[in-house]
Structure 1
Amino acid sequence: MRGLTLALLVCCGCNTLDAASQDIGVDAGPVIASGFEPNTALLDRSGSLVLSGTDLQSGFDWAQDLEAATGAQRVTIQFQGGTDQQRRAWLTDDPVQRGNRTICFELREPNVGGQKGRVQANLYDTFGFSRFSQRIRLYLGDGFSELRDANVTFDWLTLFELWNNPNWTDDPWPFRISVNLIRQDPDRHELVLGAHGQTYTDGRWENVWEVIATDQPIAVETWTALELEFVEGNASTGRFVVRRIEPAAATLLDVTNWTHHPDDANPDGLTHLNPFKLYTSAELINGLHDLGTSLSVCWDDWQFEAVPR
């Protein structure tokens, strides 16, 4: 962690966001702040991992402070099957800055029925947020250089996902917002972000909206700091924004549209989200495996602030 400020300690009334965040109303609420420093740990719990301990720099406690701030009892790292040889999540040194700790995800082989690969952080069963903002840094490993330069296109490599509501519960109005790293044109050696809002009907996801940051490539093998913001609302009041903080500050995605299912007359806030994840097809994972490399992402300096509904 490069240095979370003292203002980012967990609280229920503090305001830690900048003016850009306040413009869409995400200006108060509980905070998660962790750089995954000692004494943060990953504990094995029946095939998943659980973030545990107290971050020594921010003071954030992964049990007591998390539940008080969000209503969730834990942040788990989910794999959906597989072995450590296929996928993993671990706390390790920064690939660039020695002495700094990060959490890293890696996919070496498809771990979900041979069809796809998944490593994701789950923040589930929260109070239900009408608004939230998060900042996080990510480092795309050398496998992403291969994806950037190969003669290939893809639009499914998910880094963040919001469920309002999940399709695996009995809720009648499933809706999700997914943020993917994509490659549109094999002649352009660039990876960019795209996002879509989707409803779920008869076993299929269908777009309500989709946006792509066509001319804003994401750097590989260097740290990028991103901010995500969400406001629950309809076609004119819903908002979803992704900004790059560094390097080269820019608004990458800015959506005013539905952020819950259009048929849900009584939305009850965002209760399930994957604040950071690595999820993609067997085709991409196997292609990199054949080249002797893998997909790996490191994450650091996670800051999360939300307004309960």
Structure 2
Amino acid sequence: MGKQGKRFLKLLTCLGMISMVIGVTPAFAATPGSVIFQSGFESGSTLSQLDAQDDDITGTDTSYSTKNNWVTDLEGNAQIGTFKIQYEGGAATDRYASIITDPAYSGNKVLHYWLKNAAIQDNGFMKGRIQTSIYDEPGNPQQSLNEMYYKVRLKLHPDMQKLESFSNAIPWLTLAEFWNDPTWTGSSYPFRITFGLNKDANAGSNQPLYFSVSSENMDNNTRVEVWRSDAKSFTVTYNQWITLEFYYKKGDATTGRFYVAATPSGGSRQILFDVKNWTYNTNNPSPVGLANFNPMKLYTGEEYIDHIRNNGGIMQLYWDNFELWNGWPQAVYQAESMTLGTTSGETLTNSSDVNCSGGVCQIFDSNGVGDYINYYANVPHDGKYDIKVGVKKMNTRGKFQMSIDGANIGTIQDLYAASAQYTELSIANNVQLAAGDRRFKFYVTGTSGTGYQLGIDYIKIIPKD
């Protein structure tokens, strides 16, 4: 399957449960965002060396049609600083990142991390690092992100399983890191969030790894843990793609949020972490947002790197399908592209119109009360959503009641207007939806004129938590 077939919003068909909850939006609720950049590391993405310890990726990724240029879309965005791949120490014989053909599928390209030797000396301790960095650097300053979401696929090479035979604890093998006022900028209030793989002390050999996330105040280089959470119930797999979703919201103990979900290939989406707590230093009187982060990282100590190598392997990861947003993705479903369910039998036509989103509105040629049309739209995750519908009003239009999976939401909407009007209707707020495909039904209830037609442009669902 090509990259276009693996895009974020896939239109399938299934049924599910829905309920409606009305209430005040919590302070930690996510704000709808827009895509900043996306790449599948496909044709047009070129990895090249900047210097002995840094690489770069440039070009336009042809697997996406928009927001796909590594320089103009990613680094050129005012909220993003400089992108690079960093190593800190060693040579290509010790570590490298490269864009390669997916070993399991020749039609796909991936970003490959290969870490053979720990080549960075740190106070008598050796470590290894490969990381993509999005940093606020001189010459390309950024406006910090108060909210950020990204999605990326991760595959652990089978050699990574050799860590299960390591006899002691593995307290840090970092896969992503997020900094607020980082130590290297001279800030008085550095703070970081670390996501990675761990293994418990005294677990012994042949024990599983698990995902973990923690945060730390780093005042005066003294680490003080603020919060921590482990996902021991999630099975870490090898040689299998896992889609990871990360969400960060700047805030204190009542407004901050850090969220991670994981979807194994062919499996169900699971929320690993939904931490509602500090996401900046607890002592910081005027914190900035997220100005420095490593969305794809491999960083750990020599004993873990050596253990894999001494047992006939190399520490390796694969990354794919990176998508970055400046808030939680909102889903917009164009009527003409949605999966159509049952109807009452009346004609449905695509009407070209430059004033409609995507240049097309769908006209449902209803002729009386009781006519209906069903669409299916894929909801990306469990949660509360505001529901909106883009419509084209006219003097031939009728009224409709919307329902989702059989439950009415909102009030009856009137599409009558003396002349053409293009508008977005607010149907209902804080509707609890389950992840998966939901059935959106438009049921004709009457008319304010003489016609009963419906002019439907799109359905929009906006996350609220």
Is TM more than 0.5 here?
A: yes
Which of residues 113, 122, 134 in structure 1 aligns to 2:133?
122
Alignment correspondent of 2:223: 205
Matches within 5 A, 1:130-169: 130-169=146-185
Alignment correspondent of 1:276: 296
Matches within 5 A, 1:132-281: 132-184=148-200, 185-186=203-204, 189-246=207-264, 247-281=267-301
- Give the letter aligned to residue 180 of structure 2: N
Partner Cα separation in structure 2 for residue 50 and residue 160 of structure 1:
18
Residues 34 and 135 of structure 1, relative CA distance in 2, 3 Å threshold: same
Which of residues 112, 122, 130 in structure 2 aligns to 1:104?
112
Partner Cα separation in structure 2 for residue 80 and residue 290 of structure 1:
23
Task: Confirm or deny: 8 A CA contact 1:51 1:74 kept in the other structure.
Answer: no
Partner Cα separation in structure 2 for residue 74 and residue 203 of structure 1:
25
Partner Cα separation in structure 1 for residue 204 and residue 149 of structure 2:
33
Q: What is the DSSP-based 3-state SS (H/G/I as helix, E as strand, rest coil) of the residue aligned with 1:304?
A: strand
Q: Does 1:285 align with 2:298?
A: no
Residues 73 and 63 of structure 1, relative CA distance in 2, 3 Å threshold: farther
Which of residues 21, 38, 43 in structure 2 aligns to 1:38?
43
Q: What is the DSSP-based 3-state SS (H/G/I as helix, E as strand, rest coil) of the residue aligned with 1:273?
A: strand
Runs of 4+ in 1 over 6 A off after TM superposition: none
Task: Confirm or deny: 8 A CA contact 2:188 2:220 kept in the other structure.
Answer: no
Give the unaligned 5+ runs of structure 1. 8-22
Partner Cα separation in structure 2 for residue 218 and residue 230 of structure 1:
23
Q: What is the DSSP-based 3-state SS (H/G/I as helix, E as strand, rest coil) of the residue aligned with 1:106?
A: strand
Which of residues 24, 33, 41 in structure 2 aligns to 1:28?
33
Q: What is the DSSP-based 3-state SS (H/G/I as helix, E as strand, rest coil) of the residue aligned with 1:63?
A: helix
Alignment correspondent of 1:295: 315
Task: Confirm or deny: 8 A CA contact 1:242 1:253 kept in the other structure.
Answer: yes
Residues 87 and 34 of structure 1, relative CA distance in 2, 3 Å threshold: same
In the TM superposition, what is the alpha-carbon distance from 1:129 to its structure 2 partner? Answer: 0.6
Aligned-residue CA RMSD (Å) = 2.1
Deviations 1:274-299 (A, max 9, x none): 01100000110111121121110000
- Give the letter aligned to residue 163 of structure 2: L
Deviations 1:70-110 (A, max 9, x none): 54354200000101111110000112222200001111000
Task: Confirm or deny: 8 A CA contact 1:37 1:100 kept in the other structure.
Answer: yes
Residues 254 and 284 of structure 1, relative CA distance in 2, 3 Å threshold: same
Q: What is the DSSP-based 3-state SS (H/G/I as helix, E as strand, rest coil) of the residue aligned with 1:226?
A: strand
Residues 70 and 224 of structure 1, relative CA distance in 2, 3 Å threshold: farther
Task: Confirm or deny: 8 A CA contact 1:156 1:180 kept in the other structure.
Answer: yes
Residues 266 and 146 of structure 1, relative CA distance in 2, 3 Å threshold: same
Partner Cα separation in structure 1 for residue 173 and residue 277 of structure 2:
23
Q: What is the DSSP-based 3-state SS (H/G/I as helix, E as strand, rest coil) of the residue aligned with 1:55?
A: coil
TM-score (norm 1): 0.89
Q: What is the DSSP-based 3-state SS (H/G/I as helix, E as strand, rest coil) of the residue aligned with 2:326?
A: strand
Q: What is the DSSP-based 3-state SS (H/G/I as helix, E as strand, rest coil) of the residue aligned with 1:36?
A: coil
Partner Cα separation in structure 2 for residue 95 and residue 127 of structure 1:
38
Q: Does 1:304 align with 2:324?
A: yes
Partner Cα separation in structure 1 for residue 33 and residue 156 of structure 2:
31
- Give the letter aligned to residue 56 of structure 2: V
Residues 72 and 132 of structure 1, relative CA distance in 2, 3 Å threshold: closer
Percent of counterpart pairs with the same letter?
28
Task: Confirm or deny: 8 A CA contact 1:62 1:74 kept in the other structure.
Answer: no
Alignment correspondent of 1:15: none
Partner Cα separation in structure 1 for residue 36 and residue 305 of structure 2:
35
Partner Cα separation in structure 2 for residue 24 and residue 43 of structure 1:
39
Task: Confirm or deny: 8 A CA contact 1:166 1:175 kept in the other structure.
Answer: yes
In the TM superposition, what is the alpha-carbon distance from 1:201 to its structure 2 partner? Answer: 2.5
Partner Cα separation in structure 2 for residue 297 and residue 55 of structure 1:
21
Residues 286 and 127 of structure 1, relative CA distance in 2, 3 Å threshold: same
Aligned length: 294
Task: Confirm or deny: 8 A CA contact 1:226 1:243 kept in the other structure.
Answer: yes
Q: What is the DSSP-based 3-state SS (H/G/I as helix, E as strand, rest coil) of the residue aligned with 1:284?
A: helix
Q: Which has the larger radius of gyration?
A: 2
Q: Does 1:2 align with 2:3?
A: yes
Partner Cα separation in structure 2 for residue 186 and residue 243 of structure 1:
28
Partner Cα separation in structure 1 for residue 81 and residue 284 of structure 2:
27
Partner Cα separation in structure 1 for residue 35 and residue 282 of structure 2:
28
Structure 1 range deviating more: 216-225 or 116-125: 216-225
Q: What is the DSSP-based 3-state SS (H/G/I as helix, E as strand, rest coil) of the residue aligned with 2:164?
A: helix
Task: Confirm or deny: 8 A CA contact 1:79 1:111 kept in the other structure.
Answer: no
TM-score (norm 2): 0.60
Name the one with the larger strand percent: 2
- Give the letter aligned to residue 62 of structure 2: L
Partner Cα separation in structure 2 for residue 115 and residue 187 of structure 1:
23
In the TM superposition, what is the alpha-carbon distance from 1:151 to its structure 2 partner? Answer: 3.1
Deviations 1:204-261 (A, max 9, x none): 2220111101211221111111101111100111100110133331111121110001
Q: What is the DSSP-based 3-state SS (H/G/I as helix, E as strand, rest coil) of the residue aligned with 2:161?
A: helix
Q: What is the DSSP-based 3-state SS (H/G/I as helix, E as strand, rest coil) of the residue aligned with 1:202?
A: helix
Partner Cα separation in structure 2 for residue 202 and residue 52 of structure 1:
37
Task: Confirm or deny: 8 A CA contact 2:38 2:322 kept in the other structure.
Answer: yes
Which of residues 85, 98, 102 in structure 2 aligns to 1:77?
85
Q: What is the DSSP-based 3-state SS (H/G/I as helix, E as strand, rest coil) of the residue aligned with 2:187?
A: coil
Task: Confirm or deny: 8 A CA contact 2:261 2:273 kept in the other structure.
Answer: yes
Give the unaligned 5+ runs of structure 2. 10-27, 137-141, 328-465
